A and B are shown apart, each in its own frame.
Chain A
């Protein structure tokens, strides 16, 4: 095992000996650049959640953008659930159910998510506009 390591190390050293300072700068900057991209790229390129879909009693009622602030009144089995869209986030603020789990589920933000009120049979889903239906293979 040690022999393999020392051989690999010697091979790497002999490759580095072949390179000039400029080469090392280029290789180093490329590696640093790719590491930086690895860290930052997912922040810029991600399928951000931009709209929500509201489903009541297994029937989709419609899609609403997260960009416009509004209050949605959704009728369910028990009564009316209030879904609030504010500052790009959606949240259930009031519900006729007894446990209020849905109110405590939190918000749908950039990273998506889903809010469910089981007793009232209401689902609020976060969706992104990007269509992932395409696929391709190239050689």
Chain B
């Protein structure tokens, strides 16, 4: 009972953290067109590594809905782009995280998540907005960008996971 309440409180904190990071990032000026770091994924991946796949899915979907409410984009194409990217990337990261950490670390998982996030967004953009095959030519550039941001987020995830596990006395 006590353990359960503690887990729910920690998950709620992760969700709050993810939402605020998501909202803060959507406020930062965009320097390079569509290029964003996706820092909110740090929280999603940390949740995945500490609490498991189901809870990570809750946190990610909840984060996207709350972020949509905050930025007022709920129901708009941008919201569906974020939703598809988030769900697909958390599914791929869940699959990859089944391996041993000594084989594929947080960085690898984060890179896979970032790449699948970008590709899912590109396919969604093709299906619901642009409907022109030419935008799929962006895919290689988006993969390169995702690899860079994935490595950065992965390193951040490693430190966050270590410090949270230490602080919460898990394992």
Complex CA gap A31/B91 in Å reads 22
Judged by a CB distance under 8 angstroms, whether B1 is at the interface is no
Interface residues of B (CB under 8 A from A): 26, 30, 34, 73, 77-78, 81, 99, 102-105, 107-108, 111-112, 115, 125, 129-134, 136-137, 139-141, 143-144, 146-147, 151, 154-155, 158
A20-B107, A31-B143, A31-B144 are known; give 5 further A-B pairs, CB within 8 A.
Answer: A18-B155, A21-B103, A22-B105, A37-B143, A139-B78
Considering only CB atoms, which chain B residue lies closest to A22 in the complex?
A: B104
CB of B140 within 8 A of CB of A30, answer no
Main secondary structure of the interface of A (DSSP, over half): helix
Complex CA gap A57/B143 in Å reads 50
Interface residues of A in 1-43 (CB under 8 A from B): 15, 18-23, 26-27, 30-31, 33-35, 37-38, 41-42
Most B-side CB within 10 Å, residue of A20, A21, A42: A20
CB of A45 within 8 A of CB of B30, answer no
Interface residues of A (CB under 8 A from B): 15, 18-23, 26-27, 30-31, 33-35, 37-38, 41-42, 45, 47, 130-132, 134, 136, 138-139
Q: Among the listed B73, B111, B141, B151, which residue makes an inter-chain contact with A15, where contact means beta carbons less than 8 Å apart?
A: B151
Q: Which residues of B are found within 8 Å of A136, using beta-carbon distances?
A: 77, 125, 129-130
